[in-house]
Structure 1
Amino acid sequence: MTHEVKKTVAEINKRIEKGKAVVLTAAEMVDAVRRLGKVKAAREVDVVATGTFSPMCSSGMLFNFGQEPPVMKAQKVRIGGIPAHAGLAAVDAYVGATELPKDDPLNKIHPGRFKYGGAHVIEDLLRGKSVKLWCEAYGTDCYPRRSLEKDVTLADLKYAALLNPRNCYQNYNVAVNLTSRIVYTYMGPLKPNARNANFATAGELSPLFNDPYLKTIGLGTRIFLGGGTGYVIGAGTQHDPRPKRNERGIPLSAAGTLMVKGDMKGMDPRYVRAVSILGYGVSLAVGIGIPIPILNEDMAFFTGVSDADIQMPVKDYGHDYPNGIARTLGYVTYAECRSGEVVINGKPTQAVPMTSLAMSLEVATKLKERIEAGKFLLTEPVEPIESA
């Protein structure tokens, strides 16, 4: 394949350092490609800033709380009352965003209304609050301490990273409920007989819609993560590299995902928020922005994707999903979802977003501003992520 336009990441970075790079948000790029065509847009635009802010259940914090005499090898750890996995090393632990306490007082009064979980611990730490750290150990000659209990802040932790196994889904289901009773899901409560349709992703702003074949995103890609700087460290844990796609390369199902990490001490709690989902539990809303270098007209074409180009599968979460049935009821576009109403089984149905479009645009805009200010350079992947 030959291209009329050819750029390199190194060339684009030089333009960023000189303050000459042309950076557009993904929403702005839709208009640019429509007006200019992909070749001229590729010549004029250097970087497209994408963004999403949505509940991402597969998230968590890897942390090290440091030693104090006498030293210990923690066997059981709770932070903020939330169990953390301690089978890593002496004072390393991992707390998942969806982890819950054994006893949640609010849940006893109103089943399914979870008040506090791992995501809340993460947000509290980012807000500068102190949380209770509790540890238990069996004791050894080299690690004699058997217990530890103290209050800690983010500053007290020797190491704290947001380490998320599966974020940034490339497309996702539109959830409906075809049963005669309300069902409670990670996509929110779903009314009976498909009286609402809940959807996620940020449409044309969403990172993996703008690089559907992952041509510029891979191991080592620098990203905006939670208000700070993070990195892609590989494919997410449910990454599907070969989904069925439409003519623009957009997957017609939940497909690509990313594993990401970043230093929490450089993050902003505005872009990392705990979420309590009625009847389901706890999740973590994460702001992620990925810069897409416009290396050629193909990348200009891909980043010109619009909400109307994105088809999303409709799935029944009342019967099919819980029973592992993969049936797709049909497709609706993101543009239709964004209008507030979609047609399900021939009937108008209220469409309810799980993703904040306003915050997604803010993430993309913040990333754009950092690139324009020369504070955020692009990286080339050291290893690609498989995508057919």
Structure 2
Amino acid sequence: MTGTYKVNKTIQEINNRIKEGKAAVVNAEEMVEIVRAEGKVNAAKAIDVVTTGTFSPMCSSGIFFNFGQVPPPIKASRVWLNNVPCYAGLAGVDAYIGVTEPSEDDPLNKVYPGRFAYGGGHVVEDLIAGKSVRLRAQAYGTDCYPRKAIEKDITLKDLFNVTMVNPRNCYQNYNCAVNMTSRTIYTYMGPIKPNLRNANFATAGQLSPLFNDPFLKTIGVGTRIFIAGAEGYVTGAGTQHVEKPQRNERGIPLTPAGTLMLQSGNVSDMDPRYFRGLSFTGYGCTASVGVGIPIPILNEEIAWCTGISDAEIQMPVKDYGHDYPNGINKVLAHVTFEELKSGSISINGEKIPTVPMTSHIISLEIANKLKDWITKGEFLLTEPVEKIESE
């Protein structure tokens, strides 16, 4: 990265300092105070890496897996794990399970349609936790793949080449959901009570990865990350990535904008503390995924970006009762993340209690765990091999 900066570092130089045990590493909350007290130039001189973290519902998540052949071989056309359907339109014994897929025999859904208790996210959590799950597969049979069915109990250790691939994670800003109708609505943001009785919001604010690198100056294809307790990588822009969002004076998008596609290294290294299957009443199943991304402080511009505070992050408030289904882009107001964290916001003169969908405690824990890995020399930074566009 070039520019007329007073501070110019390279990722290689920072990695050398990490290897020598000399790198100055802080989490994103600590960096807010450092930039405020020292200014961006001195902060850039003093700090080498800022770690970020988020632990939030991420519906666009799942794992690819290969369950192995036993004679006679099978070309699976339908696959289930604990009666949760997987996508099997791949190769012989390859499949993908998404976290929002519900179990076909969920007893809660039989009594209350749409109120799933168990789904793909729970299957993945069970596998990461070392639990046994029931594999069932069917096939139509061919000369080279004559087997037509298989059923057995498996654990993560029985699967081959398991990889978490999340098409869209780490949203850069997101909606604060309210409901101005007279009935409760059930959404991926959780239940939203009628007549502005709650406001549900997501993201980790000043800890969130893409708030700390709003123009993706350091995050790109090949960036090494923390994902669910293991190492992983950014593989590209996530689905629904917005390259040119409207931004405030601090460079923060005013609506949902950037997203990242993520891939894990070794799923067996993951920790179920940082991957949790979830079920939202009336919406269905999903999962919370822990992600941490290191930001190398190459110059004072990046230092300034990582000094973003909750008070400078503006989030859009949307009515999920009237407007969201048919007017998805309509914004009632913008409120700061600091206001949301205070416990209430004011909309149209109404004081509304706020409800976080993201765990601040675990988000900070992830940032600190990544900080510890880097400080100990166990995690090196990577140079992106390709930029993800964000203007």
TM range (shorter): over 0.9
> Which amino acid is the alignment partner of residue 178 of structure 1?
M
Q: Distance in 1 between matches of 2:327 and 2:159?
A: 41
Residue matched to 2:376: 373
Contact conserved, 2:61 with 2:164, CA < 8 A, in 1? yes
Q: Distance in 1 between matches of 2:230 and 2:125?
A: 14
Residue matched to 1:253: 255
How far the C-alpha of 1:264 sits from its partner, in A, is 1.0
Residue matched to 1:17: 19
> Which amino acid is the alignment partner of residue 296 of structure 2?
P
Query: Sequence identity of aligned pairs in percent?
Result: 65
Residue matched to 1:299: 302
Q: Distance in 2 between matches of 1:155 and 1:16?
A: 33
**Deviation sequence 1:195-239 (CA, Å, 0-9, x none):** 110000000000000000000001100000000001000000110
Secondary structure of the residue that 2:371 maps to in structure 1? Answer: helix
How far the C-alpha of 1:39 sits from its partner, in A, is 0.1
Q: Distance in 1 between matches of 2:272 and 2:327?
A: 36
User: Is 1:92 matched with 2:94?
Assistant: yes
**Deviation sequence 1:183-203 (CA, Å, 0-9, x none):** 000001111111110000000
Secondary structure of the residue that 1:194 maps to in structure 2? Answer: coil
Taking the TM superposition and a 5 Å limit, the aligned residue runs for 1:132-211 are: 132-211=134-213
Q: Distance in 2 between matches of 1:49 and 1:25?
A: 5
> Which amino acid is the alignment partner of residue 48 of structure 2?
D
Q: Distance in 1 between matches of 2:150 and 2:240?
A: 37
Secondary structure of the residue that 1:359 maps to in structure 2? Answer: helix
User: Is 1:338 matched with 2:341?
Assistant: yes
Partner of residue 234 from structure 2, selected from 232, 238, 261? 232
- TM-score, normalisation: structure 1: 0.99
Q: Distance in 1 between matches of 2:103 and 2:203?
A: 29
Q: Distance in 2 between matches of 1:97 and 1:327?
A: 29
Residue matched to 1:60: 62
How far the C-alpha of 1:114 sits from its partner, in A, is 1.4
Residue matched to 2:36: 34
**Deviation sequence 1:125-176 (CA, Å, 0-9, x none):** 0111110101111111111111110111000001211110000000000000
Unaligned 5+ runs, structure 1: none
Q: Distance in 1 between matches of 2:348 and 2:284?
A: 30
User: Is 1:241 matched with 2:236?
Assistant: no
Q: Distance in 1 between matches of 2:329 and 2:23?
A: 45
Secondary structure of the residue that 2:60 maps to in structure 1? Answer: coil
Taking the TM superposition and a 5 Å limit, the aligned residue runs for 1:93-132 are: 93-132=95-134
Secondary structure of the residue that 2:162 maps to in structure 1? Answer: strand
Q: Distance in 2 between matches of 1:370 and 1:325?
A: 40
Between stretches 313-322 and 11-20, larger displacement belongs to: 313-322
Taking the TM superposition and a 5 Å limit, the aligned residue runs for 1:262-273 are: 262=264, 263-273=266-276
Q: Distance in 2 between matches of 1:290 and 1:356?
A: 17
Partner of residue 283 from structure 1, selected from 277, 286, 304? 286
Residue matched to 2:331: 328
> Which amino acid is the alignment partner of residue 297 of structure 1?
E
Residue matched to 1:8: 10
Partner of residue 313 from structure 1, selected from 313, 316, 320? 316
Secondary structure of the residue that 2:322 maps to in structure 1? Answer: coil
How far the C-alpha of 1:356 sits from its partner, in A, is 0.2
Q: Distance in 2 between matches of 1:111 and 1:138?
A: 32
Secondary structure of the residue that 2:278 maps to in structure 1? Answer: strand
- TM-score, normalisation: structure 2: 0.98
> Which amino acid is the alignment partner of residue 231 of structure 1?
Y
Secondary structure of the residue that 2:195 maps to in structure 1? Answer: helix
**Deviation sequence 1:21-63 (CA, Å, 0-9, x none):** 0000000000000010000000000000000000000001111
Unaligned 5+ runs, structure 2: none
Secondary structure of the residue that 2:137 maps to in structure 1? Answer: strand
How far the C-alpha of 1:108 sits from its partner, in A, is 2.0
Q: Distance in 2 between matches of 1:112 and 1:350?
A: 26
Q: Distance in 2 between matches of 1:191 and 1:72?
A: 49
Between stretches 103-112 and 277-286, larger displacement belongs to: 103-112
Q: Distance in 2 between matches of 1:345 and 1:373?
A: 50
Runs of 4+ displaced beyond 6 Å = none
Q: Distance in 1 between matches of 2:331 and 2:115?
A: 30
Q: Distance in 1 between matches of 2:328 and 2:366?
A: 35
**Deviation sequence 1:62-99 (CA, Å, 0-9, x none):** 11111111011101111111000000111100011000
Residue matched to 2:350: 347
Contact conserved, 2:83 with 2:105, CA < 8 A, in 1? no
How far the C-alpha of 1:279 sits from its partner, in A, is 1.0
Q: Distance in 2 between matches of 1:121 and 1:286?
A: 14
How far the C-alpha of 1:325 sits from its partner, in A, is 3.7
